[in-house]
Structure 1
Amino acid sequence: MKIDSAPQGAQVYIGDKSCGPVGNTPWTGTLNAATVTVIVEAAGYEPAIKSFKVGRVRKVQELFVPLTRQPQLEIRADADPSLVGATVSVDGVAQGTIQGPMVIKTTAGRHLIEIKKEGFETLTQWVDLSTTPALTLTPTLKAVAKAKYGTIVVEADVQDAEVYVDGNKHPDNTPSVISNVIEGVHVIEVKKAPGPPWRQTVTVVANQQTKVRAELAPLLHGGVGVIRVLSDAPGARANIDGIDMGPVPVDIKDVKAGEHIVQVKASGFKTGEKKVTVTAGGSQVVKFDLNPEVAADQGTIKVLSAVPEAEVIIDGAVVGKAPQEKKVSAGEHSVMVRLAGYKPFEQKVRVETGKVLSIMADLKGVGRLRILSNPAGASVLINGLPAKDKDGRDKTPMDVEVETGKTIVRLEMPGFVASEETINIQGGQTETLSRELSIAGKSESELKNEQKGLSSWGARALPRGRSTVDFDAGYPYFGGLRITVGAGRISQQWGFDASIGVRTMFARTELGFGGRMMVANQEPFSAALFSNLWYGTKLFDNKSERNGATFDAGILASLTALSNVTITGRAYLEFWSDRHCPEINGSGASASFKSDAKPTKACDGYLKTAVRGETVDGFTPMERARMEELTGESGGDMFGRDYGVRFMLSLIAEIAVRQRWNLFGIIEGAPFQDERALFTDQFSGPMAEEDLVLYGRVGLSYKF
C-alpha cells in the first residue's frame, strides 16, 4: 500500500488515531485485504478521512490525498499592548483570551470577530476567509471616555445668599466655589430672603473655571425683574417694547414689573414676537425658534426622531442630525434617517410651497443574523418572507440585518426536511444560526401520486410497502383473486415484487405464485421480466386425480400517461403438464382404474372402448378421436400426463378510476397454434367445445 499527500510529510493513521500514526507521507506498508479508514493530517490543513478497499489480488495499491489548507486567523497585540487580557469570539463563540499572538482555526467564509475588555469599547470586525486561507489582524482598542469636570465660582451683590446647582443646595453660601462639576450645561440659582430667586444657565468646560454674579439687590426692593432672551438664528437681535437690546443671547435687567413685548429679529428669518409678564424680583428665559423666510417655490421639511443622534439625509445629501429642518423646492423628495444598530427609515414625501412638512422617523433596532446550513444553498424565509443579503443572495450562507425581537427563521431545500426556529435578535449584536438539514421522504402529494399510479399488471414494480389486490372474471378462468406485494427497488431502474393468487375454471381450481423484475423505468416507459407458476386440481374432488401445473415466463413493456392510464404489452411462453384421467392398472381387457378413483365420463369411455375393446353407449368414436387429437396420445398413453408449450401475446389496459381503485382489462391469445386440451369440454365440462385460443378478463385492483 502506497499513501501520498499534497503537501507531503503529513501523518498517516490507519483505522483510527488511538494507535498513533504509522508514518508520514509518502508512506509504504503492508495491509490485510479489507476496507480500511485512512486518516491524513498535517499542521495548518484540514484532516482528510478516506475509506479505502484493499484488494486481495493486487500487489500494490496507491492512494493520493490532496489536503485542503484550513483557514486560520491570527490576532497580534503588537500594535496595542492593551489587547493583552482581552477576550475574543468568532461568530458569537468564545475563542479565549489574548496573551500574545493568538491563532484561531475556523472555516472558509465570512466571520464576525469581537474583541472585548473591561474599560474599552467592544471592537467588532467582519473578515472574509473565502479566498484567503490565512489572515493576520493587528487591532487597537479604544478606551471608554471618562467623565470630565470643571469649577463654578458664584458671587452675588449681597452677602450670605444661598446657592443651588441644578436644584440641589450647595453647602456654602455666597461667595462660593463649586468644584468637580461635570462638563456641560447647568442651572445656577441664588436666593436671599425676602427677594425672589436669581437664576442663570451656565456651560461648564472641563478643567476650566466659570464665574457667575447674581444681582439680588434690586430684587430685594421689588418692582423689577430680568428677562433672558435666547435664539438659534444666526445674527439675531432682541427688542423689548420696541427698544433694541443687542444680539442674543442677552439678559435684559431692571425690567419693570408688568407686561412687555419681546421681539427677536434676524436676516432671512421671520420676526419672532412674544408677550412676557415680568414679576417683581422674577427672572425668566424666553427662547425664540425663528422660521426661515420661504421663497415662493419652496417649502420646509422638518425631520424628527425619537432616537437621538440619528443622521438625516435628504435627496442623498447628509444635512445633519435629527431634529433637522431644511428648505427645499416644492415637489417630491426622498428622506432617509439612519443610525448604527437601527434599520434605516426611508420615505418619499411631497413638499408644498410655503408649508412645513413634519416627518417622525420610526427607527427600529436591528441586529445581524448569520445563517448557515449543511448542505449550503438553502432558501431562507424570515417571518414568512424570502430573505436576501445586501448582495442580493437568497441562499445560505448569508448575512442579513433583522429587526430586534423574536424572529422566525425557516430553511427550505428540495429533497430535505424544512428547518424552522424562533430566535431573539438583540439590537447591534450578531446571532449565528447553523442547521444540518435532514433528507426528506416523499411529500404527501408525491405519495398520493405514487399510490394512484400503482399497476398490478404493468412493467413498473410496486415500491416496498405498497400492495395491490386484484379481482377479475373472464374466460377460460371464470374468477380470480391475486395479491401483489412490493419487495423493493435497488435503484430507479430496478425493482422487484411478488404475488400469490387463486383462479378457477370450475373443472380445476389453481393456486399460483409469481414474480416481476423491473429492468427499465424511464417515464413514461417501463419494462420488466416476469414468471408465474400455477398448480391445481378439481376443488373438493381429489379422487378424480385430475391435476395440472402451468409455468409462464416472459417480458412486459408499459406506457403510462399522467399516472392514470397504463397500457402494457406482454409476450411469454406457457408451459403445462396436465393429467386429464386417473392412472390405470394393467393393460388390455384387464386394465382398470384404481379402486377409489372417480374418472370423468370421457376418461371412463375411452378406457372401455380404446383399451379394453368394449362397446359403450354414449361414447362415440368421434369423441375418442377428438381426445386423441387434443392430447396427441392414444391407448394407454391417454392416462399419462399431457405436456405442451405455447407462445402467448397479451394486451392489458389499466385505468385509475379512483385514488385506490384501478379498472383493468386483459386480452390475450396463442395465434396460429394448437389447442390446449384443458380448455375444451372434452376434459373440462364448463369449457367450449373447442379451445378458442383467444381469452379475456376484466376486473378491479385495490391499491394500498
Structure 2
Amino acid sequence: MSRTLVVGITLLLLCIGISAVSAEIGGDQGWYRIHCNVDGASVYFDGEYKGTISGGELYVAVYTTGTPYSTIRVERSDYRTYTASLPKAPIMGDTAEVYATLQPAETYGSIYVSSSPSGAAIYLNGNYRGVAPLTIRDLTPGTYNVEADLSGYQSDWSRVTVQSGKQSNVQFTLTPIQQYGSVSITSSPSGAYVYMDGVYKGRTPLTLNNVAANNHNVELDLSGYYDWRTTVSVASGVTRYVDARMVAIPSETTGRIDVASSPTGADVYLDGVHQGKTTSTGPFTISNVRVGTHTVRVAMSGYHDYTTSVDVGGATTSYISAALQPASMGATGSIAVASSPSGAEIYIDNAYRGITPLTVDGISAGTHTVMVALNGYNDWSTSVQVGAGSIASASASLSPVSAPTAKAGVAPFAAIGALAALGLLGARRKQN
C-alpha cells in the first residue's frame, strides 16, 4: 500500500471520530429546571454534581443525543435528602420541570409510658405529664427521670434516654401495697367454730387482726344449728363486725332443700307449687319440707326447664344445682361427682354447684376444674374433659386433716365432749 493511501485513510478516520465527538458534545440541548424550597442545596444527577439551588431553582442542561440521566438527589445539611427518578429527558429546546421539597431533619424524640395496672400518674423530671398509657412528645435528646404513681401501689421510676427522631418505651409493673384490717365475729348462741376462707380460726366471740384488705368467706359451725356463711369486705385500717344468728336444726319430721341455678333469677317449684326465685347471693332455701321424695322444677323464660327428684331427710338439707340450658343450645355435657366420704361441697370452675354425690348438667364442652371440699378433710381437685352430650366422672377420695381441739374444761365429762364433737361433724355436712 502506498504511503499516500495510508495517509488518506488515517485522515478519513480522524474526520469520522471528530464528527462523532462533535455530535456528542455540541449536539442539541434541553434543560431540567429543578425547583427546591431550600437555597444552597446541592443537586446530583446519577451521583454527578450539577450545581446548587439559588433563588429556589437550578437549570441543568442535557444533550438530547447523549445518554439520558435517570435519578436526581438533592441534599443539604440539617435536611432529609431528597431522591427520585428523573422525568423523561427533554427534547431539543424544551425544559422539564422537577420539584424537590426538603424536610427538616428531626431533632426531637419521644417517650411512650405504660403501666400495669393502667391509669398511673406519670411525672417527667418531677413534672406531671398525664395518665398512662401516655406518649410524651417533643423531647430534646438526653436522659430523663420518669415516675409512675398509683393509689394503693408502690411508686416506681425509671431513667430513660431519648434519641433524636426515635421513641423510647418504658413499662411500669406496679406492686400493690399490702393493707390490713380486722374482723370482729360474734354469734348467737356463742361458741361457734369460725372458719375464714376455709381455715379454722377459733370460736366466737372472736376478733381477727391483720386480715388482708379483700373479700373473705366466713363460716360458723355449731352443733345442733345450721352452718352460717357470709362474705365480709375488709378495708385497710377498718374493723368489720359480723354477728351470726344461728338457726336451730328443726325436728326430724322435716328437712330443707337448697336450690341454686345458673343463670340466677329462675322460678322454683316444689311438687308443682311455686316457692320463689333463685338469687345471686346464695341458694334459695325451701324450709319445712316433709320427709320423703319430692319433685323440684326450675324454670326460666328462654331456657329448658330443669326437673329432678330429691329425697329429703329429717333435719337435713338436700341440694340442687340447676344449670339451665338455652332453648337453642345443645353443645353441653355433664359431670358426675362423687366423694368418699360423701356430703362434700362441689365447685366447678370455682362456682359452687351442690353436694356429693351429684350429676351436674349443662356443662359446656371443654376442660373444667372440679374441686371437692369437706370440713375436716383436705380439698381435692382435678381437671375433667367434658364432651357434648356425654357424662364425665370425677371421684374424690378425701384424706382427713387434724380437727381443731377444744380447750380443756369445755365439757365436764369426756362422754359429753365426745357427743359434742360428733354433733359438730354432723352439722358440718348440713349446709345453710
TM value normalised by structure 1: 0.24
Which structure has more RCO (C-alpha within 8 Å, separation ≥ 6)?
2
**Rg larger in 1 or in 2?**
1
TM value normalised by structure 2: 0.36
